[in-house]
Structure 1
Amino acid sequence: MHHPTAWASLSLGQRDVNPYYVKLRLLGLQGQLYASENVNPTKALNGNFDLAFVLVYLFPLLVIALSFNLLSSEREQGILTLLLAQPISAGLVVGAKLLFRLTLVLGLALGLSAVAMLGAQVPLDGRVGLWLALVTFYCLLWFGLAYVVTGLQRNSAFNAVALVGLWLILVVLVPGLLNVYVSAARPVPQGIALTVKQREEIHGGWDKPKMETMNRFFALYPQFRDTATIKERFVWRWYYAFQHLGDQSVRPLAAAYSQGLQQRYELVNRLSWLSPAINAQSSLNALAGTDLPTHLAFQQSATRYHDALRAFYYRYLFHKVAFTHADYAKEPTHTFTSTPEIKTAVSGLGKLLGSVGVVFATGLLLFRVRPINPR
């Protein structure tokens, strides 16, 4: 069982798509490791709804709705000339309106985060400040984009279309293209191929000579070589022997699969500056301990537990040791709790901070080189 931390309810991450508990037996590991419960396809289509989704994908739309007409509305209403006649600069007017909207949005975002944290009973440690910083700079980035579009001094319709276009590019198009690129640049063996090969090996074990199977098994576990020759049609130790050989046959594929997923994750992290949505989502998942490296660590932990189960029960199977009620207390146990990837979250915050600086600097430059035209 992959026990979640309190943070997992705020950002589901990989727990939404990968199994977070497996029912392990002495049978072939790979078939159990990737098995998941059947779910309602309608629910799977809709997906789960967490705070990270709201903040990363929906809040930019709120920023756009509030900020697309920062300056254009006054021009279209014919009051911009009167406004500029006052002893205040146009930059100050735009800044004040931007700051007011920023206060509203940040108040809502940080308020939702605080309520969610209180409801989830998250521990009040440094992660709280890091989460709030990520949310703050992500919202600042979108206000910065609104500031840049305002600096172009076009009408409200153009501003709205431009900002929605930026949302589609940065939140939908770039992540989709990045997924295609990463899939091509870091090919990963298909999980279904791994499962099929393992099942073929296990099912083929029924038809192979028992001595051939046992000799292959004894090469891995020579301590059991002195067990009696199998003469019966079915013996449990032979059955579990070819189950384990099925796992051994796909071991290189399984290692390549896990390594490939890790390489894809690292490549996405290196390219996440291309999309603030990917950067923010990855950072929040890392902070909540629901990212891909944590899931891979859980699978490795489950693999070690399966090895411990085999080491514990093989003695009873192969040496025919009587299993008593008291032996249940000696059975290996498994526990795995998510741990946050603070380094990844801090790196994501640094990328957001750099992006915010670039965007606001661009907006300031636009207002300097293009004086505001009241008409």
Structure 2
Amino acid sequence: MYFILIKQFFRSKTVLLAFGILIILGILSIGTGKQYLNQKQAAIAKTKVQQEKHIETQTSLHNDDLGLLLYYLKFSFINPVNTLAGFSIGQSDLNSHIQNVTILNLEGQKYDTDLVNPMRLHVGNLDISFLIIFLFPLLIIALNFNILSEEIEKGTWKLVTIQGKSSFKYLLKKISIRVVFISIVLGLIFLVSKLMLGIPLNIGFLQIVIISYLYILFWFAICFFVILLRKSSNTNAIALLSSWLILVVFLPVFVNNYISNTYPVEEAFTMTIKQRDEYHKKWDTDKKETLDKFYAHYPQFSNYELQEEGFSWLWYYAMQQMGDDESKQEKDAMYAKIEKRELLSKKIAQFFPPLQMQLAMNEIANTSLTDQVNFLNATTQFHEDLRLQFYPKIFDEKPANSINWNNYKPQYFESNTNFNLIDNILYMSLITLFLIIFGIIKNVKYFR
């Protein structure tokens, strides 16, 4: 029986067409991931070389004045690209993974990013996560919507119920063939992507594989539930496509708008304006007032006195510091709202597998907004460490050649992913089981 059903399945032009489309899109998605990783890794390699050349050039030009030298010197802080980002690019194409910062006010430097074609950002990336979340469900719907209704409409289902030992087992065999077929195609995509993208066989990769297969089973459960309602093929198709539109297209947009309106981030604009405004105001503010605030922030530097006449690097860097200090409240408020947004989105996504799938893959691949915020916070600490190293040397008027600049290499951010697989698959598993069990219970009378 299985051999006949498999032969019948592969005779369908829909199957061959779907398989061909999936293979082509799979190759394109892997190519997209490869191109993304190559670009990021090339940028990191160039950054290492560029910082060395930059320091060498600037020290040769401003060797006599350390304060002026550090006005120009930039130091690189890198968020290394996880190879799993080739699966799920997420928001990492919008955010810079390399921060080149001076010891001047930081908030104005944090959000510089690469120039990217806006049309490309608008269209998005055809990465593997897009393929799995958006396109695999459509293929599953196309292969399953009429496996029962077509038999009933053609009148062959009565023959099955009369001749077969169990019509339910017959239906399960038809579905299982499709499950195995989709699983093999997905497995091939994972295998090729692992080899092409150079992804190690680690916990993160296995977590993506597990959650992807569970997501595929979820869509099979929806199809199983709908076809057991015993409606016509057209009704099944409309119901399943409507489910896809609601779950994959409409709900993410609705949830995004709801979260954005619940936690509007006006502070992003006010922080930028205040940081710039407060810095520029200091040119017309009494220098002693600026220094008093600086000493309150750094009491360890209170022994350095402001010279009354001429330009003072102590006052200048104190003024730069005030730009960050005066905008700190807005910055903290903005990050607090971003964190609330992420927490709310995760809570809502638990009950909607496509949303859950996207958030989970981004979190595993370190391409989520949370990861970017953590990187920016680490950049703040990196910047603070630089200031604490250089401020005493500037205020003591040390020569530039008193510092061993060879010690200043690009530093790397260490991401700590707290992804919990059980928490992320629990509700999806329960929804899948509910759909299967409820569909069976509603149709017990039809099967023997």
Aligned to 1:350: 426
**CA deviation map 1:86-140 (0-9, x unaligned):** 1233322221111111111111112111211222222223333322211111000
Matches within 5 A, 1:43-192: 43-192=120-269
Between the two structures, name the one with larger relative contact order (CA 8 Å, sep ≥ 6): 1
- Identity, in percent, stands at 30
Q: Which amino acid aligns with 1:138?
A: Y
Check 1:97–1:63 CA distance in 2 against 1; reply closer, same or farther (3 A cut).
same
Q: Distance in 2 between matches of 1:339 and 1:59?
A: 31
Cα distance in structure 2, aligned partners of 1:346 and 1:6: 23
Are residues 1:284 and 2:346 paired?
no
Q: For 1:166 and 1:230, how far apart are their aligned partners in 2?
A: 72
Post-superposition Cα deviations, 1:126-158, rounded to whole Å, max 9, x if no partner, equal 333322211111000000100111011111111
- State which of 282, 287, 293 in structure 2 corresponds to 1:210: 287
Q: Does 2:339 match 1:262?
A: yes
Counterpart of 2:108 in structure 1 is: 31
Distance 1:63 1:44 in 2: 28
After superposition, the C-alpha distances for 1:306-337 in whole angstroms (9 at most, x for unaligned) are: 00111111112212111216431344852114
The change in CA–CA distance for 1:204 and 1:130 in structure 2 (over 3 A counts) is same
Report the Cα offset of residue 55 of structure 1. Answer: 0.8
Match of 1:302 in 2: 379
Q: Deviations over 1:228-253 (max 9, x none)?
A: 53445644432322111010011121
Secondary structure of 2:164's match? coil
The answer to whether 1:360 aligns with 2:420 is no
Q: Tell me the alpha carbon deviations over residues 261-291 of structure 1, each in whole angstroms, 9 at most, x when there is no partner.
A: 1122112212212211111111222222222
Equivalent-residue separation in structure 2 for 1:97 and 1:146 (angstroms): 13
Displacement after TM superposition at 1:36 (Å): 1.3
Tell me which of 391, 394, 406 is aligned to 1:317: 394
Segment of structure 1 superposing worse, 278-287 or 224-233: 224-233
> Is the CA contact (8 Å cut-off) linking 1:110 and 1:135 kept in structure 2?
no
CA distance in 1, matches of 2:345, 2:300: 46
Give 1:220 deviation, angstroms.
1.9
Amino acid at match of 1:28: N
Deviates more, 1:194-203 or 1:177-186: 177-186
- SS of the residue aligned with 1:145? helix
Q: Secondary structure at the match of 2:221?
A: helix
Cα distance between partner residues in 1 of 2:160 and 2:166 = 9
TM-score (norm 2): 0.77
Sort the Cα spacing of 1:40 and 1:129 in 2 relative to 1 into closer, same or farther, 3 A: closer
Q: How many residues are aligned here?
A: 370
Q: 1:79 to 1:252 in 2, by over 3 A?
A: same
Q: Check whether the contact 1:2–1:337 (CA below 8 A) recurs between aligned residues.
A: yes
What per-residue deviation string (whole Å, max 9, x for no partner) do you get for residues 41-89 of structure 1? Answer: 1111122222111111111111111111111112233322223221233
SS in 2 for 1:3: coil
Structure 1 residue 31, shift from structure 2 partner: 1.5
* Alignment-mate amino acid for residue 110 of structure 2: L
The SS at the match of 2:400 is coil
- TM-score normalised to structure 1 length: 0.92
CA contact (8 A) 1:175 1:275 kept: no
| Contact persistence 1:285–1:291 (CA under 8 A) | yes
SS for the counterpart of 1:23 is: strand
Matched-pair contact (CA < 8 Å) for 1:305–1:333:
no
Shift of 1:169: 0.9
Query: 1:2·1:21 contact (CA, 8 Å) conserved in 2?
Result: yes
**Which residue of 2 is the match for residue 242 of structure 1?**
319
CA contact (8 A) 2:217 2:432 kept: yes
Report the Cα offset of residue 177 of structure 1: 2.1
Q: Give distance in 1, aligned partners of 2:364 and 2:299.
A: 45
Task: Give the aligned partner of residue 194 of structure 1.
Answer: 271
* More displaced stretch, 7-16 vs 66-75: 7-16
Q: Look up the equivalent residue of 1:359 and give its one-letter code.
A: L
In structure 2, do the counterparts of structure 1 residues 98 and 232 end up closer, same or farther at CA, with 3 Å as the change threshold? farther
Unaligned runs of 5+ in 1: none
Distance in 1 (alpha carbons) for counterparts of 2:319 and 2:406? 28
Q: Report how far residue 365 of structure 1 moved.
A: 1.9
Partner of 2:84: 7
**Offset of residue 191 of structure 1:** 1.2
CA distance in 1, matches of 2:300, 2:403: 25
Counterpart amino acid of 1:299?
A: L
Q: CA RMSD in A?
A: 2.1
